[in-house]
Structure formats: structure tokens, C-alpha cells
Amino acid sequence: MDIVLQQLVNGLTLGSVYGLIAIGYTMVYGIIGMINFAHGDVYMVSAYITAIAIAILTFFGIESFPIIIVGTLFLTVAVTGAYGWVIERIAYRPLRSSSRLAVLISAIGMSLILQNYVQLSQGANQQGVPTLLTGAIRFSVGDGFVQITYMKLFILFVSLLGMGILTYVIQKTKLGRMCRATQQDRKMASILGIDTDKVISTVFVIGAVMAALAGVLVTLDYGAFDFYVGFIIGIKAFTAAVLGGIGSLPGAMLGGLILGLSEALFAGLISSDYKDVFSFSLLVLILIIRPSGLLGKPEVEKV
């Protein structure tokens, strides 16, 4: 019993990480209908910046966890946001009027560039960050126990907070209205005076910021990363976004949670060898039953 509960906890925390990264995919897709393959690598860049920020802060003798985490978050979000903006400006904006596939290839190229640029400047070795926050809450269940580390609680809290703020921004603010207008009809939106280029840039920055948030939290939690770390987690997050219905914010989070849970439960109760096979099969199955994902709006076929 304790084991099953523990696996649920494992799945939820893993899922919230997927969800956080999936938001970046889903927002970009929602607004301009492109799969941003470089998103996983933006996450990877943010992991490096996290470690660099921590290294610099500790170099100046700062030891307290709150200051380090706030400083790191600030620095990482700022720099990663800049990456998001520049990537959009260089690799995607010139292709605004081209076919979606051209943008996709450009994104794959961008992903290669980011990976190798980081590898060349930082070296190919495995990197790590020191453990800053240890300890866990434990509940005894039967003769075993279920635990959730403080770091995991922190991740859950921040991702829910991030989701909440983002939902508020998209639903209630002027910026959000402009985003939604651009999503529905880019041409019409620009006729109505919305600077769609700017909106799209903003969306990319928001996507990168969410990736940065995930980058800081996950790097602090797992401690290990290298220049290749964005690939697997990127694919998983993308799967989560599609599972939940790409383009839908709550869908991304839901998809992430489902994916995380299914992985943890399958790995924990059946076999960790085939957990990815199971996840992808689940995805195929869900898409066969609901062709636009769990919370996605069915595409209206226009003649």
C-alpha cells in the first residue's frame, strides 16, 4: 500500500515537471501553430544557467537557501527569456509566411545549434549542482512510509503558482486578450491594431520563462544535467502537451500529470523497461478515441 501511494507521489511530481515544460510547447503551438522543437534545449540552457548562477552566488559567499533560490530564479528567468526572444527573432520570424514544415526544420536546426554551442563552451562533461535543500515529510502507512521531499513540495507549489499566474494573464489581462486574438485569427488581429509580431515574441518569452522555471527547479532537485538533457524531457513534455490537447493550457498540465503518473505506476508496478512503450501506446490510444487530445478543441473543418 505504501508503495502504491509512494508511486502516486512520484508520478505527480514527475508529472508537474512535464506539465511545466509542456506549457511552453502548447503556448507556442496555440498562437502560431508550430512545434517548437528547440524548447527542450531552452530548458537545457536554463539548467546550465541555474548551475552557473549558484556557482557565482556561492562564490560571493552567499549560503542561505532563500537568497540563492531567488537570485538563481531571477537570473535564470531573465537570461532564458532573452534566449527565447532571440531564437524567435533569428530562426522563426523570417519564416513567418512559409510553410509550417520549414519552421519545423529550422527549429530542429536551432536545437542542434543550442546543444552544440553549450557543449563547446561548457565541455561535454556531466554537470551537477550541490544539494541545497534536503529532508522530507514522511507519513507512515502500514509498516512502511510514504515520503515527499521538501524540494518536490516546492516544485509542486511553484508549478501550480506558475500555472495560476499564467492562466490569469491569458484570461484576464490585455496581453492575454491580444494573445487569444492572435491565436484565433492573426490577420484579423493585426487589422485591429494588434502588433502580432510583438505578441508572438512575448509568447516565446513566456514559453522560455516557463522552461526556465522548470530548469531551475528540476536541476535543483535531480542535481545532474548535461547538454543533452533537453532531448528526452522535451519529447516527454511534447507528448504531454499533445495528450492534453495541444494549444490548451490546462490540457498541458493535465497531460503532464497523466504522463507522469502512468510512467511511475507502470515502472513501479509492472516493468521499468517498457514504461516508455506504455506511455506512447497510451498516447496513441487516447488520440484514437479523442483525436484532438483530452482537452483540445476539435478542429472545425472549414471548406
The 10 Å CB-count burial string (b at 16+, else e) for 203-237 is bbbbbbbbbbbbbbbbbbbeeebbbebbbebbebb
Q: Which residues pair with 149 in a beta bridge?
A: 136
Note every long-range contact of 192-198, with CB atoms under 8 Å and residues 24 or more positions apart, other chains counting: 197/93, 197/96
Helix (H) or strand (E) holding 208: helix 196-222
Q: Which of residues 223-252 bind other proteins (CB under 8 A)?
A: 223-229, 231-233, 235, 238-239, 242, 246
Compute the distance between CA of residue 101 and CA of residue 35 in angstroms, rounded to an integer.
9
Which of 65, 67, 70, 109 is close enough to bind other proteins by CB under 8 A? Answer: 109
Residue from 21, 32, 42, 49 in contact with other proteins (CB under 8 A): 49
Interaction of residue 52 with other proteins, rule CB under 8 A: yes
As measured in angstroms, the least distance from the Cβ of 287 to other proteins is: 6
Which residues are CB-contacts of 198 (< 8 A; sequence separation ≥ 6)? Answer: none
| CB nearer to other proteins: pick between 55 and 70 | 55
Which residue from 24, 83, 210, 256 is in contact with other proteins, where contact means CB under 8 A? 83
59 interacts with other proteins by CB under 8 A? yes
Q: Closest distance between other proteins and the C-beta of residue 74, in Å?
A: 13
How far, in Å, CA of 71 to CA of 187, rounded?
Answer: 40
Cβ nearer to other proteins, comparing 179 with 283: 283
Residue 299 interacting with other proteins (CB under 8 A): yes
Q: Which of residues 175-214 bind other proteins (CB under 8 A)?
A: none
Q: Which residue, 140 or 184, is less far from other proteins as judged by CB?
A: 140
Residue selected from 16, 36, 72, 106 as contacting other proteins according to rule CB under 8 A: 106
Q: Taking CB under 8 A as the criterion, which residues in 252-291 touch other proteins?
A: 263-265, 267-268, 271-277, 280-281, 283-284, 287-288, 291
Determine the 3-state secondary structure of 146 from DSSP.
strand
Nearest-CA neighbor of 258 among 238, 275, 244? 244
Name the one residue in this structure whose C-alpha cell is 522552461. 211
Nearer to other proteins, 178 or 242 (CB): 242
The distance from CA 68 to its chain's CA centroid, rounded to whole angstroms, is 22
Site string for other proteins, 111-150 (x = CB under 8 A): xxx-xxxxxxxxxxxxxxxxx--x-x-x-----xx-x-x-
